[in-house]
Amino acid sequence: MGILGVYLRKIYTLFRGEVLVLPSRIVVFLFFLVLLFLPVVTQDLYLLRILILTSIFAILAASWDLLSGYTGQMNFGHALFFGVGAYTAALLNLHAHIPPYGSIPLGGLAAVLAGLVIGIPCLRLRGTYLALTTLAFPIILMGIVFAIPGITGGELGVSGLSRLSSSRLYDYYITVVLMLGLCTIMWKITDSKTGIIFHAIREDELAVRTSGINVTRYKLLAFSLSGFFAGISGGLYAHFMRIAGPSTLEVSMSFTVVIWAVFGGIVTIYGPVGAVFILFPLLEFFRFWPEFRMLLFAVVILLILLYMPNGILPWVRDKIEKECPRCKVRNVATRKTCRVCVAPLD
């Protein structure tokens, strides 16, 4: 009993010292808590459905940020990974009868392959060329999908997949826990040594190369990692909707991912995730005015970008926190002195 008390107190001190000191960490903590315990309060099927889809797209948006935000390889064809993941999972499930827990990771691996296939030609391109070239790949694949309706179902897609799990509640927990887990992994990756190299490649590729780092290998790594996470979200989507159709490859799908990520703030991982959790339910809310739905969506994005061109979440974060000028530790905006080095703030 005594031992347990000591550990509990230790955990509480850690919690107070590391989480409660910064409002952004409290928000993230509450976000985890609310998502995990929401079904205790309500089990409304419609609400759960929206949150499941939101979680799936949050993985997708974060994976775009991992590639395009961090390494600066503007990918305008992210729907390719999503579509490849969805179609692979669907075909494997339907023809080879692989259950979802097998077909979704395999879909992710197929998307890694797709990432390598498009990553290798794209190594020579940069900037706007890269953005506009990557836009082409999902369209090419979509043409192929339409041209061989025997395998892919053409316009109708592959339907009749097995369910993700037996009930909506389990679906919810599978997707939400996966989303929280995968996004944490992505955040950890970007925080690691690899992530710093990704950062450096975006800032100055030449300098990275002169430091003796194999840029090619890291770019391909970014393409495959991002492809893997996007492929998993594609597989989840296919199994949740029980259909993998050409809509997963559409140009608007690629654009939507970019909209989410830029809206939330790139090079953050938490930005795109937060943006999906703001924009996707907002779009559902706008369905009360069906004919103005997309118009309102577009106007919201235009207005937000006008005032916060770096994305909404970094803007909010800068309002409630400031960085210590001496030791670069973040502090609550209300503090007068830094919490670590006691240097006066601002």
Partner 1 sequence: MILDIIISGLINGSVYALLAIGFSLIYGAARIVNLAHTAFYMVASYCIYFATHKLGVHPVLAMLAAIILVTLIGLVCYQLFINPIREHEAAVLIATIAMAMAMQEIMLIIFTGDYLSVPSLIGGYLKIFGVKIAYQQLLTFGVALLILAGVWALLKKTRVGLAIRSTAQDREVANLMGMNESRVAMITMGISVGLAAFAGAVVVPLTVVNPHMWMHPLIFMLAIVVLGGLGSLKGSFVGAYILGFTEASVVFLIPLGAFLKGSVALSVMILVLLIRPEGLFGVAFEEER
Task: Closer to partner 1 by CB, 33 or 294: give it.
Answer: 294
Which one of residues 124, 193, 287, 336 is an interface residue with partner 1 (CB under 8 A)? 124
* Shortest Cβ 125–partner 1 spacing (Å): 5
94 forms part of the interface with partner 1 (CB under 8 A): no
Q: What is the three-class DSSP state of 245? A: coil
Asked whether 343 and 325 are in contact (CB, 8 A), the reply is yes
Residue 223: exposed, middle, or buried by beta-carbon count in 10 A (0-12, 13-18, 19+)? Answer: buried
Residues 155-194 that bind partner 1 (CB under 8 A): none
Q: Alpha-carbon distance 319 to 211, whole Å?
A: 36
Q: Alpha-carbon distance 135 to 80, whole Å?
A: 9
Q: Alpha-carbon distance 256 to 254, whole Å?
A: 5
Residues binding partner 1: number (CB under 8 A) = 42
292 forms part of the interface with partner 1 (CB under 8 A): yes
Task: Closer to partner 1 by CB, 21 or 304: give it.
Answer: 304
116 forms part of the interface with partner 1 (CB under 8 A): no
Which one of residues 128, 167, 184, 214 is an interface residue with partner 1 (CB under 8 A)? 128
Q: DSSP characters for 182-235?
A: HHHHHHHHHHSHHHHHHHHHHH-HHHHHHTT--HHHHHHHHHHHHHHHHHHHHH
* Shortest Cβ 147–partner 1 spacing (Å): 5
Task: Closer to partner 1 by CB, 137 or 229: give it.
Answer: 137
- Which residue do the tokens 């064809």 mark? 77
* Shortest Cβ 295–partner 1 spacing (Å): 4
Which one of residues 305, 329, 340, 345 is an interface residue with partner 1 (CB under 8 A)? 305
Q: Alpha-carbon distance 154 to 151, whole Å?
A: 8
Q: Alpha-carbon distance 318 to 157, whole Å?
A: 45
Residue 174's H or E segment, with its range, is helix 168-191
* Shortest Cβ 108–partner 1 spacing (Å): 24
309 forms part of the interface with partner 1 (CB under 8 A): yes
Residues 41-80 that bind partner 1 (CB under 8 A): 74
What are the structure tokens assigned to 184, written together? 């944490």
306 forms part of the interface with partner 1 (CB under 8 A): yes
Contact residues: partner 1, CB under 8 A: 74, 121, 124-125, 128-129, 131-133, 135-137, 139-144, 146-147, 204, 206, 251, 255, 258-259, 262-263, 266, 291-292, 294-295, 297-299, 301-302, 305-306, 309-310
